[in-house]
């Protein structure tokens, strides 16, 4: 296998130098070029044909999001966003538009302490190099076209007290790398009258999951919010676990409710999908369904096993439609169905309405 050819794109010459230095020490990586704005970036991609891009989102002439959209249409290339966390909504948009993953700069736009995320940056660039982004870009466009994704302006949320009946059935979703893009296909394909609540664990730092929930809400018929402790789960609503906090379910006087937990990470993860799914298995039994989407590692596999043992159902995304087939591969042994991403929503609706 040849070296991973990386193009580094950042508005700051200092940040480009720091990112290049962080990557160049790896013998598997070759820095083939740099670009300081969006126009230069697209020209460099066309000329150099890199294997991976690191991409800042705040740049002149064309910003990172505009670069990413044009890139995915014309010359799909794996992208790792390297950005400050001042505008998490832009990072979420980049992930939903096709970026493989992101690395937050430790101290904002100018982070001379980039060494703090050196290992994470290397790991994610290596991971991105393994992704067949061209095939996935085509599949995602087709899935969104078939699903008729909504792009209406932000809708006001229904007040909790009048948001519909307490949920009897719960769908628990686990996702990691590639998850924002997968969720952007799956959640908008679910109907407003879905007779189940949806609880989502997307591996993501604190500060980003509220923006993820907001963008999903803008595109969906379901009401989507970041989960709050004490929320009563309602049919036709989706709840995203806050970054950096575990989400599990408990039985309250008004029905099943969300519990947020600041306990220790589980195998390095907080939130942990296995924790959420274990609580769904315990509370819902046959009225629980677990879904494992694209991502690294094995989170969700034990949760699927628990849900099946309790009489519930499990669905795992197939390899061809997964950006990273780590979590789905680990959970496949406990899956009732292994499906392409674009078919999962139909199966969820069928299951929910059969109850």
Catalytic machinery residues: 176, 203, 299
Q: Dihedral angle at the C-alpha atoms of 214, 220, 225, 231, nearest 10 degrees?
A: 170
Rounded Cα distance between 123 and 30, Å, is 15
Rounded Cα distance between 97 and 348, Å, is 24
Q: Are 269 and 296 in contact (CB under 8 A)?
A: no
Q: Give the contacts of 222 (CB within 8 A, at least 6 positions apart).
A: 187, 190, 191, 192, 194, 198, 236, 237, 238
Q: Which two tokens stand for residue 306?
A: 């628990």
Place of tokens 């169905």: 337
Q: What angle do CA 123, 127, 132 make, to 5 degrees?
A: 165
Rounded Cα distance between 205 and 197, Å, is 24
């Amino acid at each position: 296998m040849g070296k991973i050819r990386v193009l580094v794109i950042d508005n700051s010459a200092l940040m480009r130098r720091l990112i290049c230095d962080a990557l160049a020490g790896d013998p598997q990586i070759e820095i083939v070029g740099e670009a300081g704005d969006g126009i230069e970036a697209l020209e460099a991609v066309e000329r150099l044909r890199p294997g991976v891009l690191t991409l800042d989102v705040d740049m002149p002439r064309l910003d990172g999001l505009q670069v990413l959209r044009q890139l995915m249409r014309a010359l799909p290339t794996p992208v790792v966003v390297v950005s400050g966390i001042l505008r998490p909504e832009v990072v979420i948009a980049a992930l939903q538009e096709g970026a493989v993953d992101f690395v937050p700069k430790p101290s904002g736009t100018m982070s001379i302490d980039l060494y703090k995320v050196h290992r994470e940056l290397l790991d994610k660039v290596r991971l991105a190099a393994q992704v067949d982004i061209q095939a996935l870009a085509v599949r995602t466009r087709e899935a969104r076209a078939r699903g008729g994704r909504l792009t209406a302006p932000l809708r006001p949320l229904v007040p909790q007290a009048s948001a519909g009946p307490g949920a009897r059935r719960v769908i628990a979703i686990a996702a990691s790398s590639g998850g924002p893009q997968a969720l952007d296909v799956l959640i908008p394909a679910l109907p407003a009258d879905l007779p189940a609540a949806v609880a989502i664990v997307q591996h993501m730092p604190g500060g980003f999951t509220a923006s993820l929930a907001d963008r999903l809400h803008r595109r969906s018929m379901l009401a989507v919010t970041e989960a709050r402790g004490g929320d009563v789960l309602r049919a036709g609503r989706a709840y995203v676990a806050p970054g950096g906090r575990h989400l599990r379910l408990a039985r309250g006087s008004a029905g099943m409710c969300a519990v947020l937990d600041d306990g220790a990470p589980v195998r390095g993860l907080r939130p942990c999908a296995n924790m959420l799914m274990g609580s769904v298995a315990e509370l819902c039994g046959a009225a629980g369904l677990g879904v494992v989407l694209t991502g690294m590692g094995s989170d969700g596999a034990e949760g699927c096993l628990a849900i099946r043992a309790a009489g519930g159902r499990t669905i795992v995304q197939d390899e061809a439609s997964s950006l990273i087939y780590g979590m789905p591969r680990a959970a496949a042994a406990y899956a009732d169905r292994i499906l392409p991403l674009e078919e999962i929503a139909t199966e969820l609706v069928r299951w929910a309405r059969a109850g």
